[in-house]
Each structure stands twice: as structure tokens, then as C-alpha cells.
Amino acid sequence: MKEILIQLICDRLRQDADRIRVQFQESKHEVGVRYAVLDDLLPEDFAHQIYKAFPSGSAMRLMSSFRERKYTSKSFEKFEPLMADITFAIQDPRVVSIVEEITGIKDQVPDAKLYAGGLSAMAKGHFLGPHIDNSHDGARQNYRTLNLLYYVTPDWALENGGNLELWDKKVKRNATIVSQFNRLAIMETNPWSWHSVSEVKVDRERCCVSNYYFSKTSPTGEDYFNITAFSARPEHKFLRAVAYVDGCFRQAVRRVIPSGLGKKDVYEGPAR
């Protein structure tokens, strides 16, 4: 199944490559973060199969703090093979090559360890606060360059919440990308690519397959390092102050202990 998915994804990307390329470049004028979306990534019956195979939140790990609340997993051995197939299909070199052509970001590599990637589900009340992603892969060898988010919950609408939000550098103004069924969102990652997921308002789970690309070349042309740093929505001023202090503390810890204090959340299964 993985090979079929790879071919379908490659064909769909090539079909809309010119439009995606233009959107990715021109979107920078909205909030300063380049992004593009590709709807109908797969034939609808394939997308429905992926949704039906998606594990429920109860089978995943709950991440819960003032920063976020969501279910995540990369324990593919517990799930139907289709979940690993779609995840790692998006990491195939053929897919990466086309995405490079579209975005203009060269020398990219996927992360077979799925550092911060994998499957995620968000239920009612779940959210992801405004943040910038950690700058590197788990080994701090490559810079994070792109997020590729594939949404598979049918009939998902703007009013449901659970939508991707891209923010300007001051985290005051945003653009919203609806987590629409069978949609692939591609967004760049750099020290100012603030983004969040709005609170889920309905009693359903918003399901997403997350992948990240990396490169030895810095997106800024200069060396830098940052942890995943959170802020808060503009109306939550106290929480924003708490997030700032929290971020400074965690960044200081990483300067002293480069590997961090916690266990790395990575895929440890067989190569795919």
C-alpha cells in the first residue's frame, strides 16, 4: 500500500505544482510565514480508509499542559499498517524531491525518527498554543525546514475549531487554515514561524498525520538554536507572560544540557 500512496501523492503534487508554488511564495505577505495547501491529496476512498484506521485518542498518549492538550502517537506496531504507510509515504525521497521543487527549499531530508512527528488527534477542548517549533532534529544535526500536515477527519469545518493558525512575529495577527478532510498543509519552519491550533469546539476527534523535513542548511543562512517556545493568544496576557518565563527557563536548561532532561519522543520501530 505504501508504494501506491507514494505514487498517488507524487501525481497529485505534480498536478497542482504551479499553483502551490505561487501560493507558497505569495502567502508570505499575510503574516510572514510561507505556506500552501493541497486539497484532495488522495482519492477519497483512500482518505476514508486512513480515517477509519486512525487510532482513537484512548489508544494514544495525552499531552496536557498550559501549552497544549492533544493525543499523539508513533507506536505504529499497535495500529493498522496503513497508518505507517501514509506517514512514511510522505517521507519518501520522491515526495521530498517534488516538495523541494515547489517550495524552493533544497537539500531537505525527512526524519525517520519522527521527532515531534507521527499521529495526532484532538478532541473537544484540545488545543495547541501559539509556538515556534524546535529548530533542529533530535540529534541537532539538521535544521527543521517544513511541516507537512495531512488532515483526515471527514466533514471538518471552520466552526469546529481545531484549525491551523499562522501568526505574525508579534503573535497578534493570524491566518487560519481549516483542517479540512483530505487536505495537505505545507508550512515553512524558522525562528519566526509562529503557529497554533485553535480549540476544538465539537465532540469529535480531529485527526492529523504529521511529518517534518530538515536540512543541514539553516533557513536563515545563520547558525541558531531554539527549543519549542510557546506564547499565548493575544487576549491571554497573563498566560503569555507565564509562557515567556517558561520558555526562557527551558532554553537555558538546553544550553547547559544539550540533550535536555526528558526522554526523546521518537519512533524506535523498524526502518520504513
Nearest to 184 by CA among 153, 141, 151: 151
* pLDDT score recorded for residue 139: 84
* pLDDT score recorded for residue 255: 74
Residue stretches of the chain with pLDDT short of 70: 258-265, 271
* pLDDT score recorded for residue 129: 96
C-alpha cell at 190: 524558522
Strand, coil or helix: 198? coil
Give how far the C-alpha of residue 159 lies from the chain's centroid of Cα atoms, to the nearest Å: 21
Nearest to 187 by CA among 209, 171, 164: 164
Nearest-angstrom CA–CA distance, 54 and 71: 12
**CA geometry: angle at 203 spanning 202 and 207, to 5°?**
85
Maximal C-alpha separation, the chain? 50
* pLDDT score recorded for residue 67: 93
* pLDDT score recorded for residue 263: 59
Tell me the pLDDT tens digit for each residue of 204-253: 999 999 999 999 999 999 999 998 999 999 999 998 898 888 888 888 87
C-alpha cell at 159: 466552526
Nearest-angstrom CA–CA distance, 41 and 182: 6
Nearest-angstrom CA–CA distance, 187 and 39: 15
* DSSP assignment string, 141-186: -SEEEEEEEEE--TT--GGG---EEEE-TTS--EEEE---TTEEEE
Q: What's the DSSP call for residue 101? A: H
Give the predicted TM-score (pTM) of the model.
Answer: 0.94
Nearest to 152 by CA among 35, 68, 55, 74: 55
CA dihedral 232, 135, 41, 129 (to 10 degrees): -10
C-alpha cell at 194: 509562529
* pLDDT score recorded for residue 206: 98
Nearest to 66 by CA among 136, 131, 135, 118: 131
Superfamily of domain 2-221: q2cbj1_9rhob like domain (2.60.120.620)
Nearest-angstrom CA–CA distance, 168 and 177: 14
Nearest to 112 by CA among 218, 4, 241, 214: 214
Nearest-angstrom CA–CA distance, 59 and 56: 6
